[in-house]
Chain A
Amino acid sequence: MIQLDKVILGDNQFFGINHMSQQKAQQLAERFNSISSICEAYRTAYDLGIHAFMLNSNDKAKEICDYFRAHRSEFPELVLYPSIPYPHKYANLVAEQGIVGAIQTVLSSQSAFNLLGFAGKGLSLLTGDVTKMFMMLIDVEMSIYKKLDFKVIYLQNIVTDLLLGLGFREVFVEYCRYVEKKFHAAPGFLTMNVPRLAAYLEECGIENAVLCGAVNKTGYLMSPDIDSYETYFRGPQRYAVSAMSIFASGAIPAAEAVNYVGQQGIRSIVFGASSRQHMQATLELIKGIA
């Protein structure tokens, strides 16, 4: 089983995302409006000893990756956990252009063109080979992380959970194979349905996946319910797990939140923090988990 970093800084707080309150989200969006303010926060985190960052491939991620590449010597032990794709980009495209139109737009963008050329694109669209198309989209999304270190590539929960509901087994299998072969990374899945996904991946015969799901004592974003999660974590597990949404967007005090995750036997936490004090306090708490 892959060894995940114990402490991973998430990125929702930098991109105006807060699941509890749109007002809080708005405040964060204002505070981290500039790339430099985000990079400063990353530097603070790194100096505190947090060397692993989860980074979604959103509009600002390219510039952040450029920054890390340009300042490589200041982040010698940096490990990224990319999460792809940026769902709202696709949601807006699909809303405007339909599914086929959105795929065409993404695959015919300049970066995709440089990456793929026309042959593959035309072929996949014609044959409806979703697996192939999906792999080409992964290439497009991953191009921004070039020459940076990462050990897991996470699929965003909206995509994971959609595919899980659709039961597109082959796409799961191919995604895992492709990520290992092409990127030498572990295939990761963000999900709001950890027990169900774990059972499904086992059924698909997938060995080496990494799961990242909400783990908090309120049961927030934990489907079908908190009891199923606790039962799952008590049993034998085939997949490495990172916990996210541990504070349930601020509803749970930090010490209680970290303690609860520790009780589930989980040793890797993705958390969001925007201030030095909050980063340091959470880091100390997580270090305290045996």
Chain B
Amino acid sequence: MKSQFNCATPADQIKTNRTLKAGIIGAGRMGITHLALLGGNPNVRVTAIADNSPLMSHVLTRYRPDIRLFGDYNRMLKEADLDMVVIATPPPLHTPMIDASLDAGLSIFVEKPFTLSAEEARRVTIRSQDVRGTFQVGYVNRFNDIFMKVKALIDAGALGRLISFRSDMFGRTVTQPSSGSGWRGKREGGGGCLYEFGSHAIDLMVYMLGKPSKVTGSCLTPVFSTGVEDIVRTNVIYASGLTGSLMVNWSDASFRKPANQIEILGENGKILADQHDLKLYLNHEYPPYVKGWNTVYITDCFNAVPFYVRGNEFTREMFHFVDRALDPAQPNLSGFSDATMTQEVIDMVFADAGVEK
């Protein structure tokens, strides 16, 4: 019973007889998630993992003896004969790992935030253009059914000229003073609300609207953390005259799980959306949407994924990467150049807030 609002995003997974060999650097929460997701894709086999935690080495040796383990990622890249690599380590390690993976000529998936500076992001993006492969950053909202639908509506001009927007993200990740003892509680470690949560809200804005020309009035406010912010607020200005705001708070206990919310107002109407539904207000009919309010729920517009672990978007994201690694001529929906724009905005917010990194 799919409605007329079906998003019709292509179900990924190319038919091929080729099996790619993948390596994973970092077997933490995201590395393990990606290992599980790749376990559901018949076109790829994880043959090597680099991680130096004794616990994870022990676990993997015991339960996945078919995977070769390395304490040193450089050795893995040299010896494991890989086609692609997934980098899921703390952010400060991303850049040297990307460089080494580019040296090895591999397709690369790197978790967000891409790097810790726009300069590094630009440099590795330019380098990647000389390597045959696909290069993706883990901004998972780009693969959410609803946000993909919003993007399609904006690009099709359903709202006309855009006037204003907001991109917000809330969650309850840090709700106690004792929190944040690991790398996530240190800015030089890539921690803090701006890198961890804000990067998602900024990337969603960049995905929908492109890169702004200026941010102003940025506030980075600690609540429970010391050394990093728990709340990010800023105003965003585009050359076109479009203006908006970002509000990101990872210390809001009223949210059961992290949630993104966007609101985009144009000459012809408005969109309100989160990961689960979108509401579209139109000044005029825009078939199949009627004048006035239209609601599209995720149940109206989802596309089933071949293997579900944490939500359709995580599978779609990782299978997109595998498909593009098989056929690098296809554009990547979350490529290094996209993530560089996001990184540039993150740097703009830090600079505007007077933070020296």
Segment of A73-81, A143-151, A160-168, A273-281 engaged in the interface with chain B: A160-168
Q: Which of A198-235 contact B (CB under 8 A)?
A: 217-226
Check B54 for interface membership: any CB of A closer than 8 A: yes
Check A85 for interface membership: any CB of B closer than 8 A: no
Residue of B nearest to A170 (CB): B63
Check A94 for interface membership: any CB of B closer than 8 A: yes
Check B96 for interface membership: any CB of A closer than 8 A: no
Q: Which residues of B contact A (CB under 8 A)?
A: 1-2, 28-29, 32-33, 35-40, 53-59, 62-64, 172-174, 179-182, 184, 256-257, 259, 274-277, 297-300, 302, 304-310, 315
Check A99 for interface membership: any CB of B closer than 8 A: yes
From B62, B184, B305, A96 is in contact (CB under 8 Å) with B184
Closest 3 CB pairs of A and B: A128-B58, A165-B36, A192-B308
Shortest distance between the CB of B54 and any CB in chain A (Å): 7
Q: How many A-B residue pairs have CB under 8 A?
A: 143
CB <8 Å contact, A226 and B304: yes
Residue of B nearest to A252 (CB): B1
From A166, A170, A221, B35 is in contact (CB under 8 Å) with A166
**Binary per-residue interface labels of chain A (109-136) against chain B in the complex, 1 for a CB within 8 Å, 0 otherwise:** 0000000000000000101111000000
Segment of A3-11, A16-24, A43-51, A179-187 engaged in the interface with chain B: A16-24
Residue of A nearest to B254 (CB): A29
Chain A hits for B259, CB < 8 A: 22
From A101, A125, A169, A221, B182 is in contact (CB under 8 Å) with A101
Of B54, B298, B304, the most chain A CB neighbours within 10 A belong to B304
Interface size class of A (residues with CB under 8 A): 35 or more
CB <8 Å contact, A128 and B308: no
Check A88 for interface membership: any CB of B closer than 8 A: yes
Chain B hits for A224, CB < 8 A: 304-307
Residue of B nearest to A158 (CB): B310
CB <8 Å contact, B29 and A219: no
Residue of A nearest to B178 (CB): A96
Chain A hits for B256, CB < 8 A: 15-17, 25, 29, 88
CB <8 Å contact, A20 and B276: yes
Check A265 for interface membership: any CB of B closer than 8 A: no
Residue of B nearest to A160 (CB): B309
Shortest distance between the CB of B99 and any CB in chain A (Å): 25
Check A177 for interface membership: any CB of B closer than 8 A: no
Chain A hits for B39, CB < 8 A: 164-167
From A22, A167, A193, B277 is in contact (CB under 8 Å) with A22
Check A138 for interface membership: any CB of B closer than 8 A: no
CB <8 Å contact, B182 and A98: yes
Shortest distance between the CB of B303 and any CB in chain A (Å): 9
Residue of B nearest to A221 (CB): B308
Alpha-carbon distance between A220 and B36 when the two chains are bound, in angstroms: 21
Chain A hits for B275, CB < 8 A: 22
CB <8 Å contact, B63 and A162: no
CB <8 Å contact, B298 and A219: no
CB <8 Å contact, A220 and B54: no
Chain A hits for B172, CB < 8 A: 92
